[in-house]
């Protein structure tokens, strides 16, 4: 019994550690790549493509990979949507003054990587992947920042969180507008009726409960068939959740999303067989556009946008943060991973291009992870304690 309690205690400590999500994703990715290339090979890849005839008859995603990407990831997007809504209502995006710096930096951090990608791939079929390097993985970026403990000011972690949330919103809009099939109007109209039904029950019922979730599943099915990517339904549903329920649902979803859905996503989507000519694969314009977009474009866009806004006296740097530290946060924002891999699977139809894009995302994210860590470590100096002491509740939220 003591051993079980001890193990349970260590598991709880690990789950509550801000670094744990990044570690789990890193382990899942490494495991999938090793299994693909040094053990099961095509058997591992074929496993994720296994068809489920019953689901096929229901006209819903019917392979393990599509169930994860079109079904379970809708829950991930629901959690992301609730985080966005909470920040818009009560957090770092609740006023124009608060949102100005992270919003401008996020827009620059999406635009410059897209331009770099376009420079390498203009006029080619690969241009459909222009949005791949425009995304930030909030779990990985904050996890790496947390490795430095209180050497990094909490205000910088708050800035990075707000930036990544706006980045997520931008990615959601991009997916909805550019990575769907031809729109089927009747399904969209039916989805609007379901949205109206959820709003109706929100007003009539005291609790946000079973009826709304059943309608949410119907909403997902309708969006899935409408031509808009099914995961967008998760975001729509999140914005229909009443303010009073946001924190409770976020807390309830956090562990299953980050410790079940995200590891499954990493295992399934990094089941990649490295080509014999791996160096050659990384030397393609597609790869260069993604790697340089993430590693160079992200920090460049974030830094220049923030610098321009501050010099125009439209915003100020976060408390206790200097420009080199902001650059370090910008480099960490180049860890695209989840969103970038997800968009890679939507941008291309041919498996070779999808795998090349995913390998490039892993390479660019790894460079950003290492570069951001050492940049922040070098420029952060001694541990910072004032912010932690002044705002312990906010510190717990970010950590």
| CA 326 – CA 379 distance, rounded (Å) | 10
Q: Tokens for 55, please give them.
A: 């689901």
Across the strands, what pairs with 63? 51
Across the strands, what pairs with 51? 63
| CA 110 – CA 93 distance, rounded (Å) | 18
Q: Tokens for 23, please give them.
A: 């570690």
109 has pLDDT over 90: yes
User: What does pTM read for this prediction?
Assistant: 0.86
Give the pLDDT of residue 383. 52
Give the pLDDT of residue 98. 84
| CA 321 – CA 394 distance, rounded (Å) | 17
Architecture of the domain delimited by 20-48+61-180+229-398: Up-down Bundle (1.20)
| CA 84 – CA 98 distance, rounded (Å) | 14
308-339 tens-digit pLDDT: 999 999 999 988 899 999 999 999 999 999 89
187-212 tens-digit pLDDT: 999 999 999 999 999 999 888 999 99
Cβ count within 10 A of residue 153: 20
Q: Using CA of residue 338, residue 305, residue 323, residue 101, what is the dihedral sign?
A: negative
DSSP letter, residue 187: H
20 has pLDDT over 90: no
Write down the residue that tokens 């430095």 correspond to. 148
| CA 236 – CA 67 distance, rounded (Å) | 19
166-195 tens-digit pLDDT: 998 899 899 988 988 888 999 999 999 999
296-309 tens-digit pLDDT: 999 999 999 999 99
Under a CB-based contact definition with an 8 Å cutoff, are residues 249 and 82 in contact? yes
- Mean pLDDT over the full length of the chain: 89
């Amino acid at each position: 019994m003591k051993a079980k309690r001890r193990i349970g205690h260590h598991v709880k400590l690990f789950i509550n550690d801000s670094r744990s999500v990044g570690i789990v994703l890193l382990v899942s990715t490494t495991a999938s790549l090793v299994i693909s290339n040094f053990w099961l090979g095509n058997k591992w890849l074929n496993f994720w493509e296994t068809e489920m005839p019953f689901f096929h008859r229901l006209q819903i995603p019917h392979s393990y990979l599509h169930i994860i990407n079109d079904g379970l990831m809708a829950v991930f997007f629901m959690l992301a949507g609730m985080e966005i809504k909470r920040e818009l209502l009560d957090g770092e995006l609740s006023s124009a003054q608060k949102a100005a710096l992270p919003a401008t930096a996020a827009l620059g951090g999406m635009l410059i990587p897209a331009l770099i990608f376009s420079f390498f791939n203009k006029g080619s079929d690969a241009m459909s992947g222009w949005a791949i390097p425009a995304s930030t993985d909030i779990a990985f970026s904050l996890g790496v920042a947390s490795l430095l403990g209180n050497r990094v000011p909490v205000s910088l972690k708050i800035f990075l969180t707000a930036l990544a949330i706006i980045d997520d919103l931008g990615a959601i809009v991009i997916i909805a507008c550019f990575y769907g099939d031809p729109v089927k109007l009747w399904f969209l109209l039916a989805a609007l009726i379901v949205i109206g039904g959820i709003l109706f029950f929100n007003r009539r019922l005291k609790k946000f409960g079973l009826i709304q979730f059943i309608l949410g599943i119907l909403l997902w099915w309708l969006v899935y068939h409408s031509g808009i990517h099914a995961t967008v339904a998760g975001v729509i549903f999140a914005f229909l959740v009443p303010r009073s329920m946001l924190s409770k649902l976020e807390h309830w979803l956090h562990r299953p999303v980050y410790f079940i859905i995200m590891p499954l996503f990493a295992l399934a989507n990094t089941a990649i067989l490295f080509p014999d000519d791996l160096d050659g694969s990384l030397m393609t314009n597609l790869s260069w556009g993604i790697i340089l977009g993430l590693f160079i474009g992200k920090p460049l866009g974030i830094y220049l946008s923030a610098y321009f806004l501050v010099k125009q006296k439209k915003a100020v740097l976060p408390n206790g943060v200097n420009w080199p530290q902001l650059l370090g946060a910008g480099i960490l924002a180049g860890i695209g991973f989840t969103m970038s891999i997800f968009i890679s699977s939507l941008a291309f139809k041919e498996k070779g291009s999808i795998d090349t894009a995913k390998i490039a995302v892993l390479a660019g994210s790894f460079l950003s992870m290492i570069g951001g860590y050492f940049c922040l470590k070098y420029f952060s100096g001694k541990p910072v304690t004032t912010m932690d002491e002044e705002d312990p509740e906010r510190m717990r939220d970010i950590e």
